[in-house]
Amino acid sequence: MDAFSSMIIEAVEKTKNAVVKIDVFKRDKNNVLRPAGSGSGFIFSSDGLVFTNSHVVDGAEKIMVSLLNENEIEGFLIGKDPDTDLAILKIYSEGYSVAKLGDAQQLQIGQFVIAIGNPYGYQHTVTTGVVSALGRTLQTQSGRLVDNVIQSDAALNPGNSGGPMITTDGEVIGVNTAMIQGAQGLSFSVDINTAKEIAQQLLKDGKVFKAYLGLMLQEVNINPKIKQHYNLKNKKGLFITKIQENSPASRSQLQEGDIIISFHNKAINSSHELFKELSKKDIVTMIDISVIRHTELLNFAIFPSDH
């Protein structure tokens, strides 16, 4: 067998036993529990915590989790965050393996990635592709903005939604979501670093706090000459692709096309770094934001809201 195929098979082998199928049941008008959809998920901690998509378990009255060894057990919803399409379940069982979480900050455009799903319960599906964009903000069908999305061309079918996106080392760098209808042939995953932060908030408070700016962003490299001229510490910045109407950003002096390089007096290299700032409770006040506009460095004030 060729080396490339062996590498993929090995990576999948490391992760596949942590990938689960999730079946959701809801009551019909006769109060009978009926199947109401399914998706994938993966176990990410030794005490049986499972990542999946929020939309997969939305409104569920009973959740069943199938492991690759054909054990089917009940899953209990710990919390969900529709804004990132993430949910956490807990299972009480033994004999499962745990996926190894990687660091999405190390990802590079052009890097090879593998999406794993478990739409059938007794076997997994695998698709491959390359990372085509990082740190994107995308809009879901319901109009919500999902930040910090990894874009790749690994094909995703709805049954794979909630499964892991892994590197060739078998480390999880994203949670696949089929909620975002993008251009054809693209798939999207929520960055695992953001997913970890959300997991912490859900486990601690049962909900997620994130202040709102109303920006659609895309991570970009900063022109070396501009970096040198202003003596910037940043490797990257966040390019504003769109400003939502009636949002804190629309009431500030920010413009589409600006590149955010600092927020709250901290250099911002990634959507994840911005997310960390916005998840602090004391951020709902006047905040300094610095941008590059064409070749100028500008400083503005913005008032994040806790919508």
Structure tokens at 127: 């698709």
Residues 6+ apart with CB under 8 A from 294: none
Which of the pair, 131 or 306, is modelled with greater confidence? Answer: 131
Percent of the chain with pLDDT over 90: 68
Res 144: pLDDT: 73
Task: Count CA within 13 A, CB hemisphere, residue 289.
Answer: 28
Which of the residues 23, 81, 85, 147 is marked catalytic? Answer: 85
Work out the average pLDDT over 257-272: 93
Active site residue 252: no
pLDDT on residue 300: 93
Terminal Cα-to-Cα distance of the chain (whole angstroms): 54
Residue 55 designated active-site = yes
- Tell me whether residue 247 is one of the annotated catalytic residues: no
Residue showing tokens 């969900």 = 80
Is the pLDDT at 187 greater than 90? The verdict is: no
Overall average pLDDT of the 156-182 stretch: 86
- 40, 54, 55, 147: the catalytic one is 55
Q: What integer is the mean pLDDT of 280-284?
A: 83
Q: Identify the pLDDT of residue 141.
A: 65
Q: Which residues contact 238 (CB under 8 A, 6 or more apart)?
A: 135, 215, 217, 218, 219, 220, 259, 260, 268, 270, 271, 274
Distance CA 227, CA 204 (A): 39
What does the pLDDT read at residue 135? 87
pLDDT of 238 over the 80 cut: yes
Q: What is the model's pLDDT at position 193?
A: 93
For 28-38, write each residue's pLDDT tens digit.
999 999 999 89
| More confident site: 203 or 139 | 203
**Per-residue pLDDT reduced to its tens digit, 133-144:** 998 888 776 677
**What pLDDT was estimated at residue 181?**
62
pLDDT category at 184 given cuts 50, 70, 90 is low
Looking at residue 179, its pLDDT comes to 61
Q: Which of 132, 152, 161, 271 is catalytic?
A: 161
Closest of 19, 231, 36 to residue 115, by C-alpha: 19
Which CA distances in Å does 165 have to 150, 158, 219, 252, 263?
10, 14, 19, 36, 29
Report the pLDDT value the prediction gives residue 207, as an integer from 0 to 100: 84
Contact 129, 113 (CB under 8 A): yes
Average pLDDT of span 62-89: 91
